[in-house]
Structure 1
Amino acid sequence: MLSSFSPDFLMRLALNFVSVLVLVRWLYYPAQRDRELAFSLFMFGLTIFLVAYVLKTLDLAASFGFGLFAVFGLLRYRTEGISNKALTYLFIVTALAMLNALGHFSLLEFGIMDGLVLLTTGLAEQGRLLGLAPKGREIRQTVQYERIDLIRPERQAELLADLQARTGWTIERVEVVELDFLKDVATLRVYHRPLEETAGHFIQVQPGRPSQSGTD
């Protein structure tokens, strides 16, 4: 079966597989702890590579394929409230897949370019490349919160204290995603330090009831 594939295709496929795996598993996931998006990024990198390689055999312009996947990625993932950093990783995965599928370089040149992208991403993620202080790993979770009176900026300390008391998390910061004054509920994006194991990404915080967890 493998004999029907050209050595060029197998080399490019293996290089892209390893590069995307390193990017998602050892750079993105340890920093964000988002299993669902890590899966999406990995599969995105694999499928973009395969389709781009097919477009190459059909002599279609590289700009056509890149534009197609860039538009799809931005439209599809922007509707899910994806963070700017996750969008950046999505672009890196897309760029690696397109580069590995359409580039005309030797194996050594491919390896240098992919390695440079991964090294730069890793240094930037740690803050070393930009001269920033290293940031501890944090988890982002979405919370439905009924005490909208604490959303006001001057009561931020009370908001953090209340969330920490209910969840047991060490909360770094909170962002207001949406306010529903008809239901007196706010949707918050909470960033906290990870516990040993944190199950779920969606938590409803309501008085007098246990917290309910699910996927963000």
Structure 2
Amino acid sequence: MAGDRWFKLMLSSLPHDFLIRLALNFAATLVLVRWLYYPAQRDRDLSFSLFMFGLTIFLVAYVLKTLDLPASFGFGLFAVFGLLRYRTEGISNKALTYLFIVTALAMLNALGRFTLLDFAVVNGAVLLITGLAEQGRLLGLPAQAREVRQTVQYERVDLIRPERRADLLADLSARTGWMITRVDVTEVDFVKDVATLRVYRQPQEPADSADRGPRPLPTWAAED
């Protein structure tokens, strides 16, 4: 009971403007990550990063607003964090785009001087356009043309030659059961006879569904 009273007191002491903006930013980030990014990429690690970036950038920007510091200071702080986090780790262009969208929404929701309706319209417009772009609607592509990217360790380096690309696709499809559309060779280790491949496949909801039971991946496969 004491904990409940302390929690209610803490909430009552917070400005209503802060709580509304925080709830709106969380809702926008949730829709962006849970229903747009994750179904297409299946990247849990970066999904967690997107959530935390959205929260921390919002909090930093809101504090800067109350201290009357320039907003450029917040962008500079985000740039420093981004360099420290992603300086040595490869990240796709799409993931960087989602990271930018999350950051932009957090800054907008923390610093924007709009009405609640304006906030809802702006956030909704960003999410709608992102969803249409993710599904390929803006390019006139069918929904099934979406691709899921995964990184695999592959031991048959003899098949990575350009003239054997068809054999490589056939072997990967047979061993994984995925509908693989294209493959990029990112790294080759001739000492261990292992190649690192970036595999693009069409999403297969029935096969990925939990109610059909887990399907073990090959030992050489690792999700990106």
TM band (smaller chain) = 0.7 to 0.9
The 10-residue stretch of structure 1 (72-81 or 143-152) with the greater mean CA deviation from structure 2:
72-81
Q: Contact between 2:159 and 2:168, CA under 8 Å: does it hold in 1?
A: yes
Of the three residues 117, 132, 137, the one matched with 2:141 is 132
Number of residue pairs the alignment of both structures matches: 209
The 10-residue stretch of structure 1 (133-142 or 166-175) with the greater mean CA deviation from structure 2:
133-142
Task: Summarize the Cα distance change of 1:197–1:73 in structure 2 as closer, same or farther, 3 Å threshold.
Answer: farther
Task: Summarize the Cα distance change of 1:74–1:175 in structure 2 as closer, same or farther, 3 Å threshold.
Answer: farther
Task: Summarize the Cα distance change of 1:78–1:29 in structure 2 as closer, same or farther, 3 Å threshold.
Answer: farther
The offset of 1:197, in angstroms, is 4.1
* CA deviation profile, 1:69-122 (whole Å, cap 9, x unmatched): 134225523533221111100000000001111111111111111111111111
| 1:157 alignment partner, SS class | helix
* CA deviation profile, 1:126-178 (whole Å, cap 9, x unmatched): 12223334344443222111221211111100111111222222212111111
Of the three residues 18, 21, 40, the one matched with 1:12 is 21
Task: Summarize the Cα distance change of 1:139–1:111 in structure 2 as closer, same or farther, 3 Å threshold.
Answer: same
Q: What residue number does 1:211 align with?
A: 219
Of the three residues 42, 53, 56, the one matched with 1:47 is 56
| 1:129 alignment partner, SS class | helix
| 2:36 alignment partner, SS class | helix
- What is the rounded CA distance, in whole Å, between the counterparts of 2:169 and 2:223 in structure 1? 22
Q: What residue number does 1:206 align with?
A: none
Q: Kindly provide the amino acid, as one letter, of the partner of residue 208 in structure 2.
A: E
Task: Summarize the Cα distance change of 1:215–1:150 in structure 2 as closer, same or farther, 3 Å threshold.
Answer: closer
Q: What residue number does 1:23 align with?
A: 32
Q: Kindly provide the amino acid, as one letter, of the partner of residue 52 in structure 2.
A: M
Correspondence list, 1:49-198, <5 A: 49-73=58-82, 75-77=84-86, 79-193=88-202, 194=204, 195-197=207-209
Q: Contact between 1:127 and 1:135, CA under 8 Å: does it hold in 2?
A: no
Q: Contact between 2:135 and 2:146, CA under 8 Å: does it hold in 1?
A: no
Q: What runs of 5+ residues in structure 2 fail to find an aligned partner?
A: 1-9
Q: What runs of 5+ residues in structure 1 fail to find an aligned partner?
A: 204-209
- What is the rounded CA distance, in whole Å, between the counterparts of 1:129 and 1:215 in structure 2? 28
Q: What's the % identity of the aligned pairs?
A: 76
Q: Kindly provide the amino acid, as one letter, of the partner of residue 117 in structure 2.
A: L
The 10-residue stretch of structure 1 (182-191 or 134-143) with the greater mean CA deviation from structure 2:
134-143
The offset of 1:53, in angstroms, is 0.9
Task: Summarize the Cα distance change of 1:192–1:96 in structure 2 as closer, same or farther, 3 Å threshold.
Answer: same
Q: Contact between 2:152 and 2:223, CA under 8 Å: does it hold in 1?
A: no
Q: Contact between 1:170 and 1:192, CA under 8 Å: does it hold in 2?
A: yes
The 10-residue stretch of structure 1 (191-200 or 29-38) with the greater mean CA deviation from structure 2:
191-200
Normalised TM-score (structure 1): 0.86
Q: Contact between 1:176 and 1:189, CA under 8 Å: does it hold in 2?
A: yes
* CA deviation profile, 1:2-23 (whole Å, cap 9, x unmatched): 1111111111111101111111
- What is the rounded CA distance, in whole Å, between the counterparts of 1:125 and 1:213 in structure 2? 25
Task: Summarize the Cα distance change of 1:109–1:77 in structure 2 as closer, same or farther, 3 Å threshold.
Answer: same
- What is the rounded CA distance, in whole Å, between the counterparts of 1:57 and 1:88 in structure 2? 28
Q: Contact between 1:30 and 1:137, CA under 8 Å: does it hold in 2?
A: no
Q: Contact between 2:41 and 2:148, CA under 8 Å: does it hold in 1?
A: yes
